Amino acid sequence: MRLTRYALALSTALVVVGAPTAGASAPDPGRQVLPSDDGWASSGTGTTGGSAATAEHVHVVRNRAELVTALADTALADTAPKIVYVEGVVDANTDATGKSLSCTDYATDGYTLDGYLAAYDPAVWGRDLEPSGPLEDARAASAKRQTATIGLPVTANTTIVGRGRGAGITGGSLRIHGVDNVIVRNLTFSDTRDCFPQWDPNDNSPGEAPGNWNSLYDSVSLQGATHVWVEGNTFTDQPNPDSAAPVYFDRPYQRHDGQLDITNGSDLVTVSRNLFTDHDKTMLIGSSNSSTVDPGKLRVSVHHNVFRGTQERSPRVRFGQVHVYDNLYEPRADLVYNWGVGVSSKIYAENNYFRLREGVKPELALYNWGGTAITERGTLVDGRPTSLLAAFNAANPTKVLGDDVGWTPTLNRGLEPAWRIARLKAGAQAAPKRIRVEGVGEYATVQSAIDAAPAGGTVTLQRGVYHEVVTVPASKTGLVLRGATGKASDVVIDFDNASGTKKPDGTTYGTTGSATATIAADDFTARDLTFRNSFDRAAHPEITATQAVAMKATGDRMLFDRVTFLSHQDTLYADSPSAATRARQYYRNCSISGDVDFMFGRATAVFDHATITALDRGGNPNGYLTAASTKRDNPFGFLVVNSTVVSSAKAATYYLGRPWHPGNDPDSIAQVVFRETVLPAAVKSTPWTDMSGFSWKDARFAEYHNTGAGSGTGTDRPQLSAADAAKYTVRAYLAGGDGWNPA
């Protein structure tokens, strides 16, 4: 929202602005207060936040250093109001100079994830005791360092509001602790990720394997807070959703805690018109079953919110009188529950609309966590009146809940029938995904930009997750596709089709059709972005053909520079237009993750200084890095050189590759060399294996001067001689007949 005629005062850390003049055409969200009767936060003195702030205590912030300074506002008396406007995206994982910080920067005292996994593997540590000892101490110390950076304390009488489309905080944890009268509005909170989750072998989820990984940070945390209005925000884990997290000790490596948790005696809170998306444990109201500060408090109104792609806790309640009304629920296919009825909770659920995916049963919307009752009125499920309580009780005769919680809400401004909620829109205004085609214009989707770009054109993508299937046809020769930030994880092209996913006509996509991106243009370049296929195998047990391609590339002289490819099976399909055509592709400083045959095809492909992550499926074999189908007359297939393979899988459970013969083609004779590459212990001592009746010994597999715990020699590990190694170089693979040398 544009504010006019500010009085400006400059400081070295941030910009201080005064209030807009009278007569401004649009209301200033920083000056707005919670309307009367709008939920529990309107009770008593109401919630006004920093609306009365004087000019010297109104701040505009654009980075973490400015945000920290504005929230502290050392010139401000503890009880005086202030407004903090956030412009653009504030990255909390930065130091005082603006330098980006990674998990490695926070790690201390010798902490490594590999070391932690080895120390507390249930096969070693057992499942009776929580982790303790030097590595757990190092994990806690590392987490403390991260907390000092990303924890953002909020004082009383404060309004924090996004100004303009796309305003938000990424990686930060807004902490409203022990204060009164706070408003948080119009912000996108993304990827509040814990670098150091803690393993708890005794923390169990219903219907799941024992144990859980627990994270420390909520995007917004209320503890002992009163009169808080959280309105019009978007909460998301993108671009790193937990649905894509690796699995350790048979449990997802949970890197995010709550999106909005209200605990430790917090009271008089209204949560309205927010979008909660792409998350597991969404909203917790109440600290523990034995809390002595929660009883009599935790009065919360949750209304006109959209819960989309969430798995549980929307909300889970202990003790509180919580009015849940006029919300839209679109849960994930692997829903655990929406409303958690906890000890002494008094949830009054009214006029909510549920849109359930095929196979999700209405009784899953509730779970009894030791409660006695929930009052439910006016629920619609896919447009039909439905009692979720009756469905739950019928399915759970030993956990039956009553229907009278003993109170009736009165602070219910805006209450409307559930049918009007079916198309509810909520959340912060997203930044327009400005995709610029150099010399042509800006476009809203990746595909529309590609379609508009000329051959040889450049398409630049701003930060964001682009949920679409993308095709670059052969006619777009020389096209450049690049992320604007220089960081691959900031710009993600994502879709979730699998080979077995059904099309609208009832047929399935097949492996090639599952690709998020299909790129056929010669001389194509991609830089600083991510191609992801986020198909979730666990959420779709009905789909058995789980190949899910992130990118299929068939062009010649293709360069991928600092590009990430994410999926599970068949991540990267490096191919050529036809069996009779060769295609050269150079993957430099790229990251590739997967498990089964996740680098495959008949292209001549070089992976130089790549990071290859072999995911842990918990089996043996865990998977296969490559499945090349090089044509017999092509001496050059896949070359992995100067790279690092990483894996948390158990030792000796991964193969380097197997020979793929598409359609049992006898002329597909895989050619793969791993040289000067670090191999983890997960790689088998016999690293090549047969496929579909074709022996690996008939393929052209070799290694040369590899290192790491998974390296070795022997009769089942063909090695290049020094003379042969001189023939299998980056330049030899890529030169072809035209001398192409992108390296």
Closest CA to 510 of 446, 570, 598, 468: 570
Cβ atoms of 37 and 413 within 8 Å: the answer is: yes
Residue 215 CB: number of other CB atoms within 10 A?
23
- Give the C-alpha separation, 323 to 326, whole Å: 10
3-state secondary structure 74-113: CCCCCCCCEEEEECCEEECCECCCCCECCHHHHCCCCCCH
| Distances 446 to 252, 476, 528 between C-alpha atoms, Å | 31, 14, 15
Q: Is 227 helix (H, G, I), strand (E, B) or coil?
A: strand
Question: Angle formed by the axes of helices 134-150 and 113-120, to 10°?
Answer: 140
Residue 60's φ and ψ, nearest 5 degrees, are -115, 125
Separation of alpha carbons 410 and 419, rounded Å: 21
Instruction: Give the C-alpha distances (Å, rounded to integers) separating 277 from 206, 230, 243, 509, 533.
Output: 22, 16, 12, 26, 18
Instruction: Please tell me the distance from the alpha carbon of residue 230 to that of residue 430, in angstroms, as a whole number.
Output: 17
DSSP bridge pairs for 347: 322
Strands of 131-263, DSSP E = 151-153, 158-162, 168-170, 173-177, 180-185, 188-190, 198-200, 212-214, 220-223, 226-231, 234-236, 247-248, 251-252, 260-263
| 8-state DSSP, 21 | P
In a 13 Å sphere around the CA of 85, the CA atoms on its Cβ side amount to: 24
Q: Please tell me the distance from the alpha carbon of residue 656 to that of residue 650, in angstroms, as a whole number.
A: 15
CB 309 within 8 A of CB 280: no
As a 3-state breakdown, the chain gives helix, strand, coil percent values, each rounded to 5, of 15, 35, 55
- Look up residue 392 and give its two tokens: 């739950």
DSSP 8-state class, residue 194: -
First to last CA, the chain: 47
529 alpha carbon, distance to own chain's centre: 15
Select from 174, 177, 158 the least CA-distant residue to 90. Answer: 174
CA distance 581 to 305: 53
Any catalytic annotation for residue 357?
no
Catalytic residue among 251, 313, 532, 658: 313
Angstrom distance (rounded) from CA 301 to CA 321: 9
Which residue from 468, 515, 457 is spatially nearest to 491, judged by alpha carbons? 468
- 588 contacts: CB under 8 Å, gap ≥ 6: 559, 560, 561, 562, 608, 609, 610, 742, 743
> Angle CA(567)–CA(590)–CA(576) in degrees, nearest 5?
75
Residue in the structure block whose two tokens are 């023939």: 727
DSSP state of 202: T
Phi and psi based region of residue 664 (left: phi greater than 0; alpha: psi -120 to 50; beta: remaining): left
Task: Compute the chain's Rg from CA coordinates.
Answer: 27
Distance CA 347, CA 246 (A): 34
- Give the pair of three-digit tokens for residue 587: 């993957």
Active site residues: 313
